[in-house]
C-alpha cells in the first residue's frame, strides 16, 4: 500500500538532473546539455519535455507585474526503461528566439536612442529572467520529476 502511494507521488522514483553546456551560444540562440536519470525502482519514462520560460518583470511596489512566456519547447517522445542504480543520459539541444519589445527594437535601430531606452527600463524596473525546465513523463506517477536551471540569454 505504502509502495503504491510512493510510486504515484513519485517518491523514491525517477530523479532528473540537468547539465547545461556553458557558455551558451547567444549568437546561434541554442542551448545544449544532458539530462541524467536515476531511480530506486524500475520505471518507464514515456517522454521528456524541455522548455525555456521567460519571466518578464515590470513596475515597482504594488504596481509590479510579472508575466511568464514559453519561448521555446522541445518534446522528446522516445520512451525508455530505467533500472535501479542505472544512470541514463539523454542529450538535448533546444533553439530559442528572444522576443523584442518596441523599446528594444528602437534601441537596436538607433544608437542615439539606447541611453533613453535604458533609462526608461531602469525607471520602470523592467527585466527578464530565463529558466530552462525539463520534465519527464513517468508511467504510473501523478507528480512527474523535473529539473530547473536559471540561464543567461
User: 64 with 58: CB under 8 angstroms?
Assistant: yes
Pull the grid cell for residue 124: 520602470
The CATH number assigned to the domain holding 79 equals 2.60.40.640
Residue 9: the pLDDT is 56
d(CA 129, CA 11) in angstroms, rounded, equals 30
φ and ψ at 64, to 5 degrees?
A: -70, 135
Tell me if 23 is assigned to some domain: yes
Domain that holds residue 10: 2-98+127-148
Residue 18: the pLDDT is 94
Bridge partners for 69 per DSSP: 54
d(CA 32, CA 121) in angstroms, rounded, equals 31
Residue 103: the pLDDT is 76
52-111 tens-digit pLDDT: 999 988 888 888 888 899 999 999 988 888 888 889 999 999 999 887 777 777 777 878
Q: pLDDT band at 26, cuts 50/70/90?
A: confident
Tell me if 108 is assigned to some domain: no
Tell me if 105 is assigned to some domain: no
Q: What total number of domains does the chain contain?
A: 1
Tell me if 37 is assigned to some domain: yes
Residues found in the chain: 153
Identify the CA nearest to 133 among candidates 66, 48, 67: 48
Tell me if 103 is assigned to some domain: no
Tell me if 120 is assigned to some domain: no
Task: Report strand pairing: 80-82 vs 43-58.
Answer: antiparallel
Residue 6: the pLDDT is 58
Amino acid at each position: 500500500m505504502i509502495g503504491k502511494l510512493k510510486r504515484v507521488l513519485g517518491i523514491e522514483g525517477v530523479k532528473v538532473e540537468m547539465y547545461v553546456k556553458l557558455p551558451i551560444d547567444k549568437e546561434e540562440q541554442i542551448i545544449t546539455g544532458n539530462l541524467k536519470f536515476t531511480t530506486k525502482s524500475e520505471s518507464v519514462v514515456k517522454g521528456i519535455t524541455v522548455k525555456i520560460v521567460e519571466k518578464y518583470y515590470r513596475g515597482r511596489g504594488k504596481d509590479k507585474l510579472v508575466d511568464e512566456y514559453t519561448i521555446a519547447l522541445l518534446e522528446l517522445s522516445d520512451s525508455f526503461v530505467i533500472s535501479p542504480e542505472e544512470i541514463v543520459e539523454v542529450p538535448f539541444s533546444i533553439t530559442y528566439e528572444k522576443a523584442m519589445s518596441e523599446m528594444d527594437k528602437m534601441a537596436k535601430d538607433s544608437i542615439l536612442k539606447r541611453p533613453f531606452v535604458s533609462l526608461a527600463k531602469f525607471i520602470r524596473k523592467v527585466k527578464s529572467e530565463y529558466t530552462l525546465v525539463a520534465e519527464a513523463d513517468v508511467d504510473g506517477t501523478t507528480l512527474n520529476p523535473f529539473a530547473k536551471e536559471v540561464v543567461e540569454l
